[in-house]
Amino acid sequence: MKIPLRLFLIAGILAACTSSIKLPVENTPISSLQPTPMSVRATRSWWEDAVFYEIFVRSFYDSNGDGIGDFNGITEKLDYLHELGVTAIWLMPIQPSASYHGYDVINYVDVNPDYGTLDDFKHLLTEAHKRGLHVIIDLVLNHTSDQNPWFIDANNNPQSPYRNWYIWSDTDPGYLGPLGAAWHPGKHGWYYGIFNATMPDLNYNNPVVTAEMEKVVQFWLNSVGVDGFRIDAANYLIEEGQKQVNTQSTHKWFKGFYSAYKADNPDAFTVGEVYGSDAALASTYTDDEMDMIFNFELAADMVNSVNGQTNSAVDSAVVFAGQSMPDWNFATFLTNHDQDRLMTQLGGSADKVKAAASMLLTAPGVPFLYYGEEVGLEGGGLDELKRRPMQWSAGANAGFSTVTPWEQVGPGDQIFNVTDESKDPTSILADYRELLQIRNQHAALRQGDMDLVTSSNAGLYSILRVSRGSESANGVDEAVLVLINLTNAPISNYDLSLDKSPLAPGSYQLVPLMGSGLTADLMVTTGGEFAQQQPVSEIPSYGTAILQLQPDPPTGK
């Protein structure tokens, strides 16, 4: 949901590193050079290993030549998404709405006719599932459209059975909400709408409203077959007087919601939007309320680091996140539909965009990519400009439609598009594909714990990812070292140190999964410690080295 606060987020650090030697990308555990044991993987939910891709249906692909993206258009592009390496899709609101964006719902159990029919959507689900892609949809619980029949009846008639589905006052209570004006004049009194007058808040102190929304959830999970929901504006759900954000009543409601949707489908997934959240706040929602919350703070500090060319901001965010939520059970991202595009925030630098993607896709948590991020779409300011049509080619209308699209195509479409970048091994798209392949094939990057490695050079960000399993020696399956240059110059003057880690003492060969350059063995002492190590001779500007650790064989054998 759009909020009138500017959040500077994005992440930093990847690289256009062209390797001189490319080794096979394999999920090779340290101990036995065998894949991660299935007994370990079997305990994980599907979303814990997923990479999500956020789609604004209106802007993705127009299949019928009306200038508006649609369900069938997404279906036509599923192979592209599968080949990109994402494993799940989040669709922004698909229900009938009074606005172009859809965050004011008129009917919760139907689809927007601009996007096609319910059968078209079910066909999309079927084809996505055939390719192993899960699909979640936006669920706007906090408010409806003022054009929703419930609100129309409630506004026209004080005796309406829907009157108590909303929040009313005979007079203007006179206080503001966290986003500005919260009380709006109706035909018979004042109603509460935390976003604006066209989006009246639902009254979840009324159990009938809760029961109705549980029916909505059952419809989409059981009758239609979606795999879960992204919960819009979760932190505003229930007010306690003038306390309007993150109330105990909201937490209590989500506990009941969690039990209800898990009863419908234990494999259903929810991720919540709690605007501005960090790991500490995310942890308050994820025990038994939602499966996951977006970590806004981490994203903001990632972009601060790549823009500032120093690791201080992201290092602090990583330390805080690890202390507040050591299981890293939150959703990570660079930008979303409410924020200026990644390419725009990073000044049009493709190298910085690659660096940001590298930081995101080597971090723990579950990553969410915003459509077009992988090819360098630009856009900022007005929300519509952040949600422009996808750039598929350098042809007319960027290949999005055969007619003038609902919103103008952004700048750079002659260069930054899927067709041309697919032919260029140094493109943003090529880097995203490589990073996603590496993440999907290496348990350490999907499942592993993370240790922040201290670098003597503030321009270098370094982490160690280690996945564990009881069936492997020392409990370690795979270890991967990630080095990301945050600066616009090569880095060769640095050393790395780590006070402790799960690694067994010994010497480790470093096998490049991404990046190039001469490597030296990593020497680990008791307690998994290492100090003053320089594993790679040089990391290019905005470059990334992803290195798998493999123990040297014992000497004298």
- Residue 273 known to be catalytic: yes
Whether the per-residue pLDDT at 48 is higher than 80: the answer is yes
What confidence score (pLDDT) does residue 40 get? 36
Asked if 544 and 48 touch (Cβ cutoff 8 Å), the reply is no
Whether the per-residue pLDDT at 274 is higher than 80: the answer is yes
Work out the average pLDDT over 119-139: 98
pLDDT in tens, 50-97: 999 999 999 999 999 999 999 999 999 999 999 999 999 999 999 999
Work out the average pLDDT over 308-329: 92
CA distance 277 to 283: 10
Whether the per-residue pLDDT at 532 is higher than 50: the answer is yes
What confidence score (pLDDT) does residue 476 get? 87
| R_g of the chain computed on alpha carbons | 24
Q: Could you give the percent of the chain with pLDDT greater than 70?
A: 91
Q: Which of 48, 227, 232, 297 is catalytic?
A: 232
Q: Which of 273, 340, 378, 477 is catalytic?
A: 273
Whether the per-residue pLDDT at 327 is higher than 80: the answer is yes
pLDDT in tens, 381-427: 999 999 999 999 999 999 999 999 999 999 999 999 999 999 999 99
Q: How far is CA 478 from CA 73, 503, 517, in A?
A: 39, 10, 22
Work out the average pLDDT over 306-321: 92
pLDDT in tens, 170-180: 999 999 999 99
- Residue 232 known to be catalytic: yes
Work out the average pLDDT over 294-313: 92
What confidence score (pLDDT) does residue 483 get? 97
Beta-strand relationship, 544-551 and 228-231: unpaired
Instruction: Report the SS3 class of residue 180.
Output: strand
What confidence score (pLDDT) does residue 1 get? 56
Handedness of CA 143, 145, 148, 151 (dihedral sign): positive
pLDDT in tens, 10-42: 333 233 332 222 223 333 333 222 223 322 334
Whether the per-residue pLDDT at 161 is higher than 80: the answer is yes
CA distance 497 to 552: 20
Whether the per-residue pLDDT at 227 is higher than 70: the answer is yes
Work out the average pLDDT over 85-111: 98
172, HSE (Cβ side, Cα atoms, 13 Å): 10
Whether the per-residue pLDDT at 201 is higher than 80: the answer is yes
pTM score over 0.75: yes
What confidence score (pLDDT) does residue 29 get? 33
Q: How far is CA 365 from CA 220, 295, 326, 327, 463, in A?
A: 26, 9, 10, 8, 14
Helical residues (DSSP H) of 101-246, grouped into ranges: 118-130, 149-156, 207-218
CA distance 442 to 56: 30
CA distance 78 to 89: 10
**364 alpha carbon, distance to own chain's centre:** 12
What confidence score (pLDDT) does residue 287 get? 81
Quick one: pLDDT band at residue 293, thresholds 50, 70, 90? very high
- Nearest CA to 235 out of 290, 187, 181 is that of 290
Whether the per-residue pLDDT at 9 is higher than 90: the answer is no
What confidence score (pLDDT) does residue 18 get? 29
What confidence score (pLDDT) does residue 19 get? 28
User: What is the chain's mean pLDDT, rounded?
Assistant: 90
Whether the per-residue pLDDT at 475 is higher than 80: the answer is no
Q: Which helix (H) or strand (E) holds 296?
A: helix 296-308
φ/ψ of 540, rounded to 5, equals -60, 165
What confidence score (pLDDT) does residue 24 get? 30
What confidence score (pLDDT) does residue 3 get? 39
Quick one: pLDDT band at residue 471, thresholds 50, 70, 90? low
CA distance 125 to 119: 10
Query: Environment class of residue 296 by beta-carbon count within 10 Å: exposed (0-12), middle (13-18) or buried (19+)?
Result: buried
